[in-house]
Amino acid sequence: MGCQRKKLRQSNDGRTTLEPEAEEKALKLLIDENIKTVSNLHENSMTYSRDCSFSRKVLKQFWEAIEYGVQGGKRLRGILVFAAAEAVSKKEYFSLSEAERKCLLDSATAIECVHAFSLVHDDLPVMDNDRLRRGKNTLHIEYDEATALLVGDALQTLGTEVLCSSENYPERRFKIISVLSKATGALGMAGGQMIDICAVSNKLGKSDLEIMHKYKTGALFEAAVSMGYLAMNVAHEDNRAKSMRSFMSRLGVGFQVVDDILDAVGLQKTTGKEAGRDKILNKPNFVDLLGVEHAKEYAGECLCAALKALEKFGGEADFLRYIANRLVKRSF
């Protein structure tokens, strides 16, 4: 990572830091490499006797499917883990102790595994029946539905396993696992997905839409920043932690508003998935509720409210602000 340090800037509080684009690129590469390392370790740890050629073949194909399911993406949830840690510690990832770096990298890897699991299941015919994800076939199209279901299950448990893979900072890791589990369950993605599938062909008001997306999308984003500050041993009750959760609460809504806009007017080449799916599936969304232009305005309002929640922070939150703008100011 030494080459990345050539792209430096002076932050508002006088610290010398990486340019945000270079930092994002370096952290994404770290997450990608760690996911590949974890996958290889698991695949190579499987043991067989001489007469298990069938099982060996099946499990090898299964691991290939798991790797397919977790490939690609911007890794923004994982990067948010690092950005939150940087804001509360006033140190970049590369300046932290080895134990802190390990805890953060495991957290970022875990949340990306869980995010990948949610996408694999969300794309299934019983849910959204999507055929494209991240510019390639969804997993159930590339393989089959049963494989996709099991790959999602495996990715979810892999996230927890990664967090349990080290004995350093056990209390912090316990809290991190608790946050991630809650964000995945009935008070998070699962609950939001339940509202989503029951909302088909129904008209939802703004409050119901926000609740649905607070659970389905926002919960994992909020978990990302929570995991970042917990890895730095900052308690939920700390004012910095409260500010971050407020920040992410509004940013999560803004992200979803933009997602709805891109679904309505975006190009498949830009989004990496089929456009117009909300309309085809008759799913309530912010564009139908507000119209494209008002939806754009509302996304901007959500971004402003999110950034306002970070006013207590100085330059140490610049990278977090950069990621916030990346999430909301995507191309329409």
Q: pLDDT of 147-166, one tens digit each?
A: 999 999 999 999 999 999 88
Q: Which two tokens stand for residue 54?
A: 């069938």
Q: What is the mean pLDDT of residues 130-140?
A: 93
Residues 6+ apart with CB under 8 A from 116: 69, 70, 73, 155
Out of 122-126, 233-237, 274-278, 283-287, least confident range: 274-278
Predicted local confidence at residue 305, as pLDDT:
97
Q: What is the mean pLDDT of residues 54-67?
A: 91
Q: State yes or no: pLDDT of 331 exceeds 80.
A: no
* CATH (domain of 119): 1.10.600.10
163 belongs to a structural domain = yes
Q: Which two tokens stand for residue 71?
A: 């490939």
Compute the distance between CA of residue 95 and CA of residue 182 in angstroms, rounded to an integer.
30
Predicted local confidence at residue 102, as pLDDT:
96
CA angle 241, 244, 247 (to 5 degrees): 155
Range of the domain at 177: 17-42+54-328
273 belongs to a structural domain = yes
Which pairing describes strands 8-10 and 16-18: parallel, antiparallel, or unpaired?
antiparallel
Predicted local confidence at residue 70, as pLDDT:
95
* SS3 of the chain: CHHHHHCEEECCCCCEEECHHHHHHHHHHHHHHHHHHHHHHHHHHCCCCCCCHHHHHHHHHHHHHHHHHHCCCCCHHHHHHHHHHHHHHCCCHHHCCHHHHHHHHHHHHHHHHHHHHHHHHHCCCCCCCCCEECCEECHHHHCCHHHHHHHHHHHHHHHHHHHCCCCCCHHHHHHHHHHHHHHHCCCCHHHHHHHHHHCCCCCCCHHHHHHHHHHHHHHHHHHHHHHHHHHCCCCCCCHHHHHHHHHHHHHHHHHHHHHHHHHHHCCHHHHCCCCCHHHHHCCCCHHHHHCHHHHHHHHHHHHHHHHHCCCCCCHHHHHHHHHHHHHHCCCC
5 belongs to a structural domain = no
Percent of the chain beyond pLDDT 70? 91
Q: How confident is the model at residue 4 (pLDDT cuts 50, 70, 90)?
A: very low
8 belongs to a structural domain = no
223 belongs to a structural domain = yes
Q: How many domains does the chain have?
A: 1
75 belongs to a structural domain = yes
- Of the spans 17-21, 65-69, 268-272, which averages the highest pLDDT? 65-69
Out of 5-19, 133-147, 182-196, 309-323, least confident range: 5-19
Predicted local confidence at residue 2, as pLDDT:
38
Predicted local confidence at residue 52, as pLDDT:
82
CA angle 208, 213, 217 (to 5 degrees): 170
Q: Are 263 and 136 contacting, i.e. CB atoms less than 8 angstroms apart?
A: no
Residue 75 gets the label, from left (phi > 0), alpha (psi -120 to 50) or beta, of: left
**Listed residue (299, 291, 283, 285) closest to 130, CA to CA:** 283
Compute the distance between CA of residue 22 and CA of residue 175 in angstroms, rounded to an integer.
30
pLDDT tens digits, residue range 101-120?
A: 999 999 999 999 999 999 99
214 belongs to a structural domain = yes
Predicted local confidence at residue 13, as pLDDT:
53
Q: Are 139 and 61 contacting, i.e. CB atoms less than 8 angstroms apart?
A: no
Predicted local confidence at residue 1, as pLDDT:
39
**Higher-scoring residue by pLDDT: 56, 251:** 251
Q: How confident is the model at residue 276 (pLDDT cuts 50, 70, 90)?
A: confident
Question: Count of residues for the chain?
Answer: 332
Sign of CA dihedral 143, 191, 128, 130: negative
CA angle 17, 20, 24 (to 5 degrees): 115
**Higher-scoring residue by pLDDT: 39, 20:** 20
Q: How confident is the model at residue 8 (pLDDT cuts 50, 70, 90)?
A: very low
12 belongs to a structural domain = no
- To the nearest whole number, what is the mean pLDDT of the chain? 90
